[in-house]
Structure 1
Amino acid sequence: MEKTLLSFGHGYSAAALAKILEPQGWRIIGTSRSEEKLPRLMQAGVKPRVWPGADMTPALNAATHLLISTAPTEAGDPVLAELRDEITKRAKQFEWVGYLSTTGVYGDHNGGWVDEDTPLTPATKRGIARVKAEAEWAAIPDLPLHIFRLAGIYGPGRGPFSKVRAGTARRIIKKGQVFSRIHVDDIAQVLAASIAKPNPGAAYNLCDDDPAPPQEVIGYAAELLGLPLPEAVDFETAEMTPMAQSFYAESKKVRNDKIKDELGVVLKYPDYRSGLKALLALEESA
């Protein structure tokens, strides 16, 4: 049977995975809420569907693998809200199901370490919604579910360089604040490794080896560009969007031993320095 990945909310991370799978002969079906994005998906070799809206029965019938990238709302997971019965009755059909979650499910640990066995104690509405969504997917009998808890994502088109160049970057200083992060290419290779070695029921943290204060990352980006160090701004007085503020509500270091020990993953970018260097080299070669 042809390997077919049905990717709900086919976005940044899913596109990186598709680049690995397509050369191996996979068929990729990706959904988007916007018709405007369909040409871009088609150019990438993805068979696009506008969803919600399209009849997903043919795609579900063809799928051997599912990837869920859609964000939950307070009402729950949008895929299950519409397609729970369809997915449940096909649970044994799928060889692998991946759900992209967030390390926000662990909540705040005052800069301490967490791993996959740490209790889920989210501190934000987004984190609470993710915990509920994880549980919703896990409750489907016989579904070969794999949960991937992603740290802060960066990669091509999602780095600090544009803001540093424009002079709009700031180094937000909050004592003890530390984040984990992950390059999108490493997300893709972890997902591909899991597909090759399924372990239904498993949860994995996806992050690099070097949790770091956010101001260090901005400072290093400026150093690479040969530009002045961006302004340091105290968190308490910084003007920030509610989304940005929510990231600073939690401080923790995330362990990634499981993706290495169980899946044999060797990170391409084990820290933000190697990742940012590679991003800048890619930009300069474009």
Structure 2
Amino acid sequence: MKNIKQSSFGKPRLLILGCGDVGMRLLPLLRHRFRVFAVTSQPARCAELRAAGAIPLVADLDQPATLARLSCLAQIVVHLAPPHSVSEKDQRTRNLVAILPERTTLVYISTTGVYGDCGGALIDETRPLMPHNGRARRRVDAEQVLRHWARRRSARLAILRVPGIYAADRLPLERLRKGTPALIAEDDVYTNHIHADDLARIIVAAIFKASPLRVYHAADDSTLKMAEYFDAVAAAFALPCPPRLPRAELQKVVSPMLLSFMSESRRLQNRRIKSELGVQLKYPDVQNALSAMIADGKC
């Protein structure tokens, strides 16, 4: 995704869809290089987006009639919007690509859940996709829709597969305070992480440096099992470590959604973001980030 040029009217235009926490972290990195438009379905957020340096646009990916004004608006699109929580398809992504012009540059934020359970194996981006739940199947569908669109419309697509996002205000503190149990070591799963600030920086690198139709693991260097992650956060915030239960007992006391996260184990290689995108992680692992939070008085 090289050779992004100034338009004849000044800065190149960039459109963000799904401008939540990560999108807000993106804006300071982008607003000096681009004229940034941020889509929201909530008119009440327009003032917040404008104050952060974006031009807010009210539109709804679930309402195709509201999207026409986005067509040909920007040369670059960052697609952070999650699929709707129903169906096996991502209709939102279908609605989006229906209005995008040829030769658009698009960075899509997907999930590492598309791999399903890998039994703790260390995997790279060539691992076959085997989604085990509706959330992951919708992401696979979105990736497939975008690949087809990119090939058909000569567009430039990069897919970032993202694991668990964390930051000082995105930690499992309430879960720890409630004493929600974790798995015993022999039943536990490997989990993967990325700090929200590093994810924003990876997205910017992908805009400028990603190869077309390339997939990247937007993950840090951590190698932690899930209970180890909870223990590290608990120690940083002086909270009790969660109790441990065997899987057969734990599945009786946690929600099906939480259990689904505790049923997939994988470790991610992240060489591509370093060698191809030139990313240097500010927070190489969870413990490094927690130490920084302690130093900053956030713990």
TM-score by structure 2 length? Answer: 0.85
Q: Distance in 2 between matches of 1:227 and 1:85?
A: 49
Does 270-279 or 32-41 show the bigger shift? 32-41
Structure 1 unaligned regions, length at least 5: none
Q: Does 1:193 align with 2:201?
A: no
Equivalent residue for 2:120, pick from 81, 102, 111: 111
Change (3 A) 1:34 1:282: farther
Does 152-161 or 256-265 show the bigger shift? 152-161
Q: Distance in 2 between matches of 1:222 and 1:271?
A: 16
Does 1-10 or 108-117 show the bigger shift? 1-10
How many Å apart are 1:251 and its aligned residue?
0.8
SS state of the match for residue 250, structure 1? coil
Whether the aligned pair in 2 keeps the contact of 1:28 and 1:45 (CA below 8 Å) is: yes
Q: Does 1:85 align with 2:94?
A: no
Change (3 A) 1:56 1:129: closer
Partner of 1:254: 268
> 1:1-286, aligned counterparts within 5 Å?
1=7, 2-22=11-31, 24-52=32-60, 55-73=66-84, 74=87, 76-87=89-100, 90-92=101-103, 94=104, 96-140=105-149, 141=152, 142-161=154-173, 163-164=175-176, 167-174=177-184, 175-238=187-250, 239-282=253-296, 284=298
Q: Distance in 2 between matches of 1:82 and 1:117?
A: 28
How many Å apart are 1:189 and its aligned residue?
1.1
Change (3 A) 1:176 1:163: closer
Q: Distance in 1 between matches of 2:174 and 2:88?
A: 36
Q: Distance in 1 between matches of 2:134 and 2:180?
A: 26
Q: Distance in 2 between matches of 1:226 and 1:83?
A: 45
Does 234-243 or 211-220 show the bigger shift? 234-243
SS state of the match for residue 62, structure 1? coil
- Cα RMSD of the aligned pairs, angstroms, is 2.2
Change (3 A) 1:80 1:226: closer
How many Å apart are 1:197 and its aligned residue?
1.4
How many Å apart are 1:135 and its aligned residue?
0.4
Deviations 1:110-145 (A, max 9, x none): 111111011111111111111111000100121111
Change (3 A) 1:283 1:143: farther
Question: How many equivalent pairs are there?
Answer: 278
Q: Distance in 1 between matches of 2:296 and 2:76?
A: 31
Q: Distance in 2 between matches of 1:40 and 1:124?
A: 34
Whether the aligned pair in 2 keeps the contact of 1:7 and 1:28 (CA below 8 Å) is: yes
Does 235-244 or 264-273 show the bigger shift? 235-244
Q: Which letter maps to 1:130?
A: R
SS state of the match for residue 71, structure 2? helix
How many Å apart are 1:257 and its aligned residue?
0.8
Whether the aligned pair in 1 keeps the contact of 2:188 and 2:227 (CA below 8 Å) is: no
Q: Distance in 2 between matches of 1:160 and 1:280?
A: 16
SS state of the match for residue 194, structure 2? strand
SS state of the match for residue 288, structure 2? helix
Does 132-141 or 242-251 show the bigger shift? 242-251
Whether the aligned pair in 2 keeps the contact of 1:170 and 1:218 (CA below 8 Å) is: no
Change (3 A) 1:72 1:279: same
Does 254-263 or 38-47 show the bigger shift? 38-47
Q: Distance in 1 between matches of 2:15 and 2:241?
A: 44
Whether the aligned pair in 1 keeps the contact of 2:70 and 2:99 (CA below 8 Å) is: no
